[in-house]
């Protein structure tokens, strides 16, 4: 079982890349510890800025650094970065077309017991509506490494959301092609398609194995980039399978499910099911407990797929 959280992988990757690229900078909002960025701050103190608990300021400062030719990575809790700083993200990053990478740490329900104030299950919906802002949710530590390398080369604003704790691997290594805006077919299938992002990719793969035991062929798509969306992969899934299920650590409104549905209904309508957090304050508890409560499990996903096919 993997014990390395994605936030640590981001730090380790940036540490390696910053040796040869002194334009890489990291900014923290009193979050170097929770973002696992202390090693970067200690190694490259001139490339690290501690802003303190001032989320609007950290986005504005990072935009100024980007205008000066730097490559700033903002590390801040997703719940605060995506809500308190949304005007600065809209204007200073997206509208101004600045090369800022916004790393929302401890996203989704990974702050668990702290409840709704610390959950970030509306962030994708908000970010999706902002023109010029890409959105990426890596599935595991291997994809996080590939993503971080790609972010350094990517010219433009990006919102990234990662969880707090280590997650089970979905890839055996980082030896696979990764491209922002290009989905990954994790498993091919002809009966039903499950589309997932972030930590729910593991759940989708588990469900596919359960369905396989029932004789059902399930396609699994890792939609790591929610914007720009890989519409071709969605349309192909709609044409080649009998229905699509999405699963996400996010509200059922405005997130991955909504993005996929918008493509499906306008191009190749098929039955769909959107699994996520319902329209209520998410319960407080450990991530596994919250997922279990809302049916974000392999067993429930398997049953949803069977019901969809039977329709």
Mean pLDDT, range 62-78, rounded to an integer:
97
pLDDT > 90? residue 96: yes
Cis peptide bond N-terminal to 303, omega within 30: no
DSSP H or E run through 150: helix 141-153
pLDDT of residue 263: 98
Q: For all residues of the chain together, what is the average pLDDT?
A: 96
Mean pLDDT, range 124-146, rounded to an integer:
97
Annotated catalytic residues are 55
Mean pLDDT, range 206-231, rounded to an integer:
98
pLDDT of residue 162: 97
Mean pLDDT, range 123-132, rounded to an integer:
97
pLDDT per residue over 227-271, tens digit each?
A: 999 999 999 999 999 999 999 999 999 999 999 999 999 999 999
Mean pLDDT, range 43-67, rounded to an integer:
96
Distance CA 135, CA 141 (A): 17
Mean pLDDT, range 54-81, rounded to an integer:
96
Mean pLDDT, range 17-28, rounded to an integer:
96
Distance CA 74, CA 35 (A): 10
pLDDT of residue 154: 97
pLDDT of residue 115: 85
Contact 207, 175 (CB under 8 A): no
- Strand ranges (E), 18-143: 24-28, 48-50, 71-77, 101-105, 133-136
pLDDT per residue over 151-176, tens digit each?
A: 999 999 999 999 999 999 999 988 88
pLDDT of residue 211: 98
């Amino acid at each position: 079982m993997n014990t390395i959280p994605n936030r640590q992988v981001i730090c380790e990757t940036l540490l390696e890349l910053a040796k040869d690229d002194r334009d890489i900078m990291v900014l923290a909002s009193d979050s170097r510890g929770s973002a696992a960025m202390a090693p970067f701050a200690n190694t490259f103190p001139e490339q690290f800025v501690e802003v303190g608990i001032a989320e609007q300021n950290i986005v504005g400062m990072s935009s100024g650094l980007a205008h000066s030719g730097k490559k700033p990575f903002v590390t801040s809790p997703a719940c605060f970065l995506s809500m308190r700083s949304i005007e600065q993200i809209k204007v200073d990053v997206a509208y101004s077309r600045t090369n800022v990478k916004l790393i929302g740490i401890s996203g989704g329900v990974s702050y668990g017991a702290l409840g709704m104030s610390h959950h970030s299950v509306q962030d994708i919906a908000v970010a999706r509506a902002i023109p010029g802002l890409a959105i990426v949710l890596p599935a595991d530590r291997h994809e996080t490494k590939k993503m971080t390398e790609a972010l350094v080369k990517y010219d433009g604003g990006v919102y990234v959301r990662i969880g707090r704790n280590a997650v089970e691997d979905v890839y055996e290594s980082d030896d696979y092609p990764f491209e922002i805006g290009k989905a990954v077919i994790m498993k091919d299938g002809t009966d039903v398609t499950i589309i997932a992002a972030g930590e729910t990719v593991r759940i989708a793969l588990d469900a596919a194995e359960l369905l396989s035991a029932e004789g059902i062929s399930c396609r699994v798509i890792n939609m790591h980039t929610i914007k720009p969306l890989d519409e071709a992969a969605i349309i192909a899934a709609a044409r080649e399978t009998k229905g699509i299920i999405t699963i996400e650590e996010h509200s059922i409104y405005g997130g991955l499910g909504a993005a996929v549905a918008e493509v499906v209904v306008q191009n190749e309508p098929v039955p769909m099911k959107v699994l996520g957090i319902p329209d209520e304050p998410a319960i407080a508890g450990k991530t596994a407990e919250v997922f279990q409560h809302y049916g974000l499990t392999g067993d429930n996903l398997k049953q949803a797929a069977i019901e969809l096919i039977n329709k």
